[in-house]
Amino acid sequence: MPAHNLSRFADGATSHPMAPRLPDLAMLLVAAVWGTSYGVAKGALVFYPVLGFLAVRFLLTFMVLLPALLRTDATGRRNALWAGLPLGVLMLGIFLCETFGLSMTSASNAAFLISLCVVFTPFAEWWLLRQRPARAMFVVASVSLLGAALLSGGYSGHWGWGDALMVAAAVLRAITVCQTTQRTRSRHVPVQALTAVQAGVIGLGSLLLALAQPGSLPPLPSLTHASAFWWACVYLVLGCTVFAFVAQNWALRHSTPTRVSVLTSSEPAFGALFAVFWLGENLSATAWAGGALIVVAALWSMAVRAGSQR
C-alpha cells in the first residue's frame, strides 16, 4: 500500500472493511521487503563504507519525505519532532549495533541473536506500557524464535563483543516499538512527518560519526561506474525505509508492539526465500522447517488478533 494511502488511513479512515486486517498485512509486507534488504545492502557496501552508506540512505529518505514534513500543520510538526527525535536516536543505535555487531560475529549468530527481539518485546510492552500481552503471544513469540534458530543454525561459537552488540540491537528494537506506540497513539503525529524526522536523525548521526573518523568517508560512487550502488539506494530508500518505516509507525497505532514484533520476525523467512529464488542459494531441510515455523507463528498471531475481536 502506498505511503500516502497509509497516512490517510491512519488519519481517520478506520471504517474501511479491511481495517482490522490492514496492520497485520502491512507488517507482513514490511517483513517481506526487509527480508530482501540484506542482499541489496551487502551489494551496495562493496562500493562505500558502512557509515557513509547509512548517511546516504537516510539523508535521501529525509529529502524524499521533507515535503510531507513541511506540509504538516504546526501541531503535527511539533508532535513529529517530539516523537521522532528520541525514536530516531534509538533507531540509530539499532543500526550501529547491528552493523558493527555483524562485522564481529558470524552471520548465523547475528541472525539468531537479533531474533531475540521477538521474545524481548512482550516483556518490554509489559514493562514500558503497563500492558500485559495475551498469554498466547508469549507462546507465539517462542515458536517464532525456535523457527529463527532452525533457519539460522542457532548460536554457535564463543561469546564476543559482536554477539553482545546483536543482543543490544534486539533489546533496542523491542524498546523502540513500545516507545513508538507510547509516543504516537495519544497524539496527532502524521506518519510521514514522523518518518522524516527519524530518517533525518539517523542520516545526520551516521554522517557525523563518519566525519569524526579522518579519511573514512571517500567521495560518493559515480553514477556511471557504480550504478548498482545507486539502484540499491533507490530500492532501500523507497521500499525498505520510506514504505517500511511509514507502515510500521502506522501499524503500531492500530496493533500492539508484541504482535508487530512477531509479524516482522517473519523477515528471515522472506530473506531465505529471496536467497533461494533470486540469489540461487540452497537451504537445508532444517532451515526449511525453521522458515515454516516462522510462518506458522505469524499466521497464529493474526488468528489471535481475530479471536480477540470477536
Strands of the chain, DSSP E: none
CA distance 281 to 141: 27
Longest CA span, the chain: 60
Candidates 194, 288, 252; CA nearest to 22 is 252
CA distance 207 to 307: 46
Identify the residue with better confidence: 261 or 59. 59
Candidates 129, 126, 128, 153; CA nearest to 141 is 126
102-149 pLDDT, tens digit each: 778 766 677 777 778 888 888 888 888 888 887 888 888 888 888 888
- The answer to whether 94 and 169 are in contact (CB under 8 A) is yes
**CA torsion through residues 104, 106, 108, 112, sign:** negative
For the chain, where are the alpha helices, taking DSSP H only? 3-10, 22-44, 50-71, 74-104, 107-114, 117-128, 135-152, 161-184, 191-211, 227-235, 244-254, 257-264, 267-277, 285-308
Question: Within a domain: residue 17?
Answer: no
For residue 4, the number of C-alpha atoms closer than 13 Å in the C-beta half-sphere is: 5
Please name the residue that has the C-alpha cell 536523525. 201
Q: What is the Cα 188 distance to its own chain's centre? A: 22
Give how far Cα 69 sits from Cα of 4, 79, 132, 150, 293, Å: 13, 11, 34, 42, 40
Question: Within a domain: residue 10?
Answer: no
pLDDT for the residue 192: 93
* Single pTM value for the model: 0.81
> For the chain, what is the domain count?
1
Q: Computed over its alpha carbons, how large is the radius of gyration of the chain?
A: 19
The residues near 224 (Cβ < 8 Å, ≥ 6 apart) are: none
pLDDT for the residue 11: 47
Question: Within a domain: residue 179?
Answer: yes
Question: Within a domain: residue 176?
Answer: yes
Question: Within a domain: residue 19?
Answer: no
Identify the residue with better confidence: 302 or 26. 26
Q: DSSP string covering 188-249, please?
A: ---HHHHHHHHHHHHHHHHHHHHHTSTT--PPPPPTTT-HHHHHHHHHIIIIIIIIHHHHHH
- The answer to whether 28 and 244 are in contact (CB under 8 A) is no
**Grid coordinates given for 162:** 559482536
Calculate the average pLDDT of the chain.
83
Question: Within a domain: residue 295?
Answer: yes
CA distance 297 to 81: 35
Question: Within a domain: residue 78?
Answer: yes
Burial of 179 (0-12, 13-18, 19+ CB in 10 A): buried
Candidates 243, 262, 248, 244; CA nearest to 303 is 262
Q: What is the Cα 9 distance to its own chain's centre? A: 21
Question: Within a domain: residue 256?
Answer: yes
Candidates 222, 188, 281, 242; CA nearest to 67 is 242
Model confidence at 309, pLDDT cuts 50, 70, 90, reads: very low
33-88 pLDDT, tens digit each: 887 887 788 788 889 988 999 999 999 999 999 999 999 999 999 999 999 999 99
Question: Which residues form the domain of 136?
Answer: 29-214+226-308
Angle subtended by helix axes 161-184 and 117-128, to nearest 10: 40
